[in-house]
Amino acid sequence: DQAWLACRTALAHQETLARLRERWMAQGHPDVHARIGLHTGEALVGNFGSEGRLDYTALGDTVNLASRLEGLNKRYGTWILLTESTLAEVADRVVARRIDRVAVKGRAGGTLIHELVGLRGQVDPALLERNAQYEAALDLYFAMRFEEAGQAFANLESSDPPSRVMRERCATYVADPPPGDWDGVHVMQQK
């Protein structure tokens, strides 16, 4: 049940770090944050190298995509992003919202990414409502109704960083629409 354990661990990590951050900042230490990317798939895990230099690590496309998700959190203002393959294994036990469909650097195909919000039954109803509004705006965006989507994202953006990102992208597409065969995939140019 790796996907479930990973989601629970990521959420517990963020909760613990938030508590520690308060204490550390009160002691004059810097504001510490951590972002997490979760993707489910096959990977090579173990000791790699030679006698002179041996390293325990994980390798493969699965690991690379999880790493790219970790970095994408900064762009969207989120803390935990996961892929459709991870969500498929835990959808009945967690709350997640669709964020975007992206092609990360080094990968050709698009991936639907989600923000891990919390455990099912433990998420504030106001947050569930915000997530529903965001996903409705995202549906407008994927339908190429960029003006409507941009307005819907603008209504959320004061309290929701991903909404700002998507509103700005909508404004770009209003000025310069994508081709008619656009599949909704945003190609990330940076890691």
Confidence grade of residue 191 (pLDDT, cut at 50, 70, 90): low
Confidence grade of residue 190 (pLDDT, cut at 50, 70, 90): low
- Length of the chain in terms of residues written: 191
Between 141 and 47, where is the model more confident? 141
Q: For position 49, what pLDDT does the model report?
A: 87
Q: Is the pLDDT of residue 145 over 80?
A: yes
**Mean pLDDT, range 73-84, rounded to an integer:** 96
Crossing angle (nearest 10°) for helices 161-175 and 61-76: 90
Q: For position 151, what pLDDT does the model report?
A: 97
Pick from 65, 68, 84: nearest CA to 76 = 68
Query: What pTM value is reported for the model?
Result: 0.89
The contacts found for 167-173 with CB under 8 angstroms, 24 or more apart, are 169/141, 170/141, 170/146, 171/146, 173/144, 173/146
Q: For position 50, what pLDDT does the model report?
A: 86
Q: For position 64, what pLDDT does the model report?
A: 87
Confidence grade of residue 188 (pLDDT, cut at 50, 70, 90): confident
Percent of the chain with pLDDT over 70: 98
Give tens-digit pLDDT for 17-47. 999 999 999 999 998 899 999 999 888 888 8
Asked if 72 and 81 touch (Cβ cutoff 8 Å), the reply is: yes
